[in-house]
Each structure stands twice: as C-alpha cells, then as structure tokens.
Structure 1
Amino acid sequence: MKKTTNKKAFDAALSMLGYRSYSETEIRTKLRRKGYEEEKIAEAIDRLIQYGYLNDRVLGDEVFEAIKNKGIYGDAYIHRKLAQRGLSSDRHLSRGEEETAARRILEAKIRVSPEAAGNPKRLAGFLVRRGFPVYLIMDILTDYTACEENEPW
C-alpha cells in the first residue's frame, strides 16, 4: 500500500472526476488499484461527498436518463448497467416507453437483417438482451407475426 497523505488520495479522486462522473464504488475501486489505503480512500470519498463532487443518487438518475434517451434499451438493461457502476435509481420506464423502444429497434433490426424477420426466436433473444420484459416481447412478436405482409407496424 502507498504511504500517502489524505490530500493525495483526495487529489487523485478529484482528478478522476475531471474526466467524467464516477460513482462512489468506481472511485473506491480506482483508488484501491492505485494502492491507496482504505482509510485514506474513505476520507477522500467523504470529502468529495461533503464538497458536492460525488452524489450517487444524482448520478444514478443522470445515467438512467442518458441510457433511456438512446431509446433502444428496456428497463431491466438500464438498471443492470446502473448496478454495474454501483448506482441505482428509483426511476423506471413506463410500459409505453418500453413498447415504443422495442418496436423501434425491432424494425431497425429487421431492416438491417431481413433474414431475422422469419425467426421469432432470434428476434425475441435480441429484445431480451436489450432488457425488455418477456410479456412485452411476446405481445410485440404476436402483433408482428399477425401482420399479413410482415411489414413493420
């Protein structure tokens, strides 16, 4: 472990935040990798929180909104990505938002890979990996296969 002052751990953490926003978990992990002692890391994180440089609640909501705005992921995917960064959010996509996103990316998938149109299993897998709920996928694929000409709805 590095024998360092609290200021050095704080400065290292603060410099990381100059590039992008990090969660408390991400800062803690990065400082550990750099060899800082747990006590110094905890003190640096406390100071960052105290000065308002680190706020996991706000960051979680910002990341949720950023991923949501891409319009290509379901609620489960978004919350999985938040958890990977040590974040959470009380926000969730509505059924309508998820359905709109799922239909949009399904249409795009079929335009790019027309051979996928005849394979509902493949389409379902694609949507599952994007974090859409199974009940919604089943509804959308039922609607899709019910179309006589298999054109996007």
Structure 2
Amino acid sequence: MPTTTHDEKATARDAEVAALHPDVARHHVRATFPARIVLRAVEKQETGEKKLPVVGDSYLTVVVAGGSILFYADEDPVWLAASIPTAQVVGVGSATEPVIEAQPFVPLLRLSISEPGTEPLDLDLELFEFDGVALHRQTDIADAQAQWRALLAA
C-alpha cells in the first residue's frame, strides 16, 4: 500500500505530468517486479543514466498521447522512463500478485505488448485512483480493462 511519502511524490509527479500533457488523462500505477524488467527492456527513449530501479517501489504516472503509452517516474523533475507505441499492445487482461497484507492477492491490469515477429511480453501494473492528495488501490479490474481498451483504441 502507498505510504504518505508515495502520496506526496504522486502529487508532485501528477502536477508535472499535467503540465507536460494538459487535457490528457493521467493514470497512476505501480510497476510489478516483472513489469520493471519489461519496461527496462522495451525502453524507447534516451534517458541517460536514469533507469527504473529493479528493486524497490516503482510508482509511475502514465498517459496515452501521440500514439504511445508514456511512463513517467520520479518528480522534480519527472523523467520519461519508457514509451510504448499503442500499436504494440496486443492484449488487455488481468493478473494477480501475492502481497503480505490483509488482502492476499492484488488485482493487476495486464497489458500484453509485442513488436512484430516477437512473442508478447506481459506488463502487469497495479492501478491506483488519485484524488489529488492520496493514492487509492483500484480493485475493479474489469472496469479498468474496459477503460484501457477504449483508451488504446482511440
């Protein structure tokens, strides 16, 4: 679960991404360990020394703009951690991840991505709603799947 620090960072990151992409919906996610590996592998943007950490938390703000899914990390300033063309998303589904909390499994959104001639890679993301102050785990993955399908089809 997000801590107060995660909420504060999400607030700052949300404002920065909103300034970069006005009038575009922002989505808040936590990249699972396998998702961080996938994002590092498919990274299309030159980010210099910055890479998503393999270990630790990876809360990101995501927008779909200009035919790509853009993943922003950190804050003050944010940086583009990865960019995936929406045309490479070949499936939208769900998955679960075990956690050490009262709820034993967390529902995840699964985006399957593939470049031509390759096997799909699954990008599992924990979804959060952001009310401007705090992150709240989104557990209705069925609604999220429908929203993401519509978002990617636009």
Q: Tell me the TM-score normalised to structure 1 length.
A: 0.22
Q: Which has the higher contact order (CA 8 A, sep 6+)?
A: 2
- Give the number of the structure whose residues are more often strand, by fraction: 2
User: Which has the greater radius of gyration?
Assistant: 1
- Give the number of the structure whose residues are more often helix, by fraction: 1
